[in-house]
Amino acid sequence: MAEVLVYVDHVDGAVRKPTLELLTLARRIGEPVAVALGPGAGDTAAVLAEHGAVRVLTAEAPEFADYLVVPKVDALQAAYEAVTPAAVLVPSSAEAKEIAARLAVRVGSGIITDAIDLESGDEGPVATQSVFAAAFTTRSRITRGTPVITVKPNSAPVEPAPAAGAVEPLAVTFGAAATGTKVVSRTPRESSGRPELTEAAIVVSGGRGVNGSENFSVIEALADSLGAAVGASRAAVDAGWYPHSHQVGQTGKSVSPQLYIASGISGAIQHRAGMQTSKTIVAINKDAEAPIFDLVDYGVVGDLFQVVPQLTEEITTR
């Protein structure tokens, strides 16, 4: 069976959920071979094996942490040349997408970014994308080289599938460009304790209707009752009510959770572009004519300051 390279997104050995989702998709088209780089790479092997990795190629050189993406591209290319895979799958994080794009250029392959599904096909894997602000769904395959495909979080279930997961050190020779941009410092973001927006199974978002930063506590309370991440429309972000890192939409983050709750958000096309692939969409808006109601599964016409606290209380008492 053909092998499929899976680039592992991890933090000091803790594998992030989108990589486990990639392993589910990789098993549809071949045998997953994981590539884990940087500090703690070796610690990823057990969980990767539990989810279907037949081999785990690891490299922990200091260059991966000390410089920007090029050392990782060198390493992924080394894995590519060692394995000759049927496809390369990469999570759609900002860093991993850059790595995927650089790899595709180096090996002369086409690339598909932000796939939301993947299936095997007679002439290679077929990827589904949601394009033009989610107005169309396309199915496409790469016709040049080995497919390099980045996949959005929450596009596939995490499925246990025990495999050998044999750890093999990956020999990497860094090119001259690898040490071209040094990381001078890293400042960890203050953690809210909530899940990461792009990976969360549930997202609760607030818009201009929230009417002030202090009122976002209403949105946060609902999010916390559901174990959800908090999102915001650009109007709310531009008003300074919530940080830009939480903006959902065309110029913010793209999310695809199981459940998306939009409160006080009108549903402008630029907002829809970032959330329309959510599996179930709920909106709370006092204007029954708001465009958001055109795309929801469930809509509540009402004042969010009445509806959201009631919802939070109901969920909390269950």
Alpha helices of the chain — where are they, by DSSP H? 17-29, 45-50, 63-66, 70-83, 94-107, 216-226, 234-238, 269-272, 304-317
The reply to whether 267 sits in an annotated binding site is yes
State yes or no: 158 annotated in a binding site.
Answer: no
Q: Which residue has the tokens 């392959």?
A: 109
Considering the complex, state which of residue 259 and residue 265 has its C-beta at the smaller distance from ligand FAD. Answer: 265
Residue 28 Cβ vs ligand FAD, minimum distance, rounded to whole Å: 32
Please, what sign has the CA dihedral across residues 267, 271, 273, 275? negative
Give 72 or 271: the residue with its C-beta nearer to ligand FAD. Answer: 271
Binding site for ligand FAD (CB under 6 A): 207-209, 233-236, 247-252, 264-266, 268, 270-271, 274, 284-287, 290, 303-305
Nearest distance in Å: CB 98, ligand FAD? 20
| Measured CA distances, 121 to 82, 124, 175 (Å) | 24, 5, 35
Residues 6+ apart with CB under 8 A from 101: 111, 113
The reply to whether 124 sits in an annotated binding site is no
Reading the block at residue 18, the tokens are 């989108």
User: Side-chain half-sphere of 278: how many Cα atoms within 13 Å?
Assistant: 34
Q: How far is the CB of 158 from ligand FAD (least distance, A)?
A: 28
How far from the centroid of its chain's Cα atoms is residue 5's Cα? 18
CB nearer to ligand FAD: give 18 or 274. Answer: 274
254 marked ligand binding residue? no
Least Å from the CB of residue 299 to ligand FAD: 11
271 is in an annotated binding site: yes
Residues of each annotated binding site: 208, 233-234, 247-251, 264-271, 285
Residues of each annotated binding site for FAD: 208, 233-234, 247-251, 264-271, 285
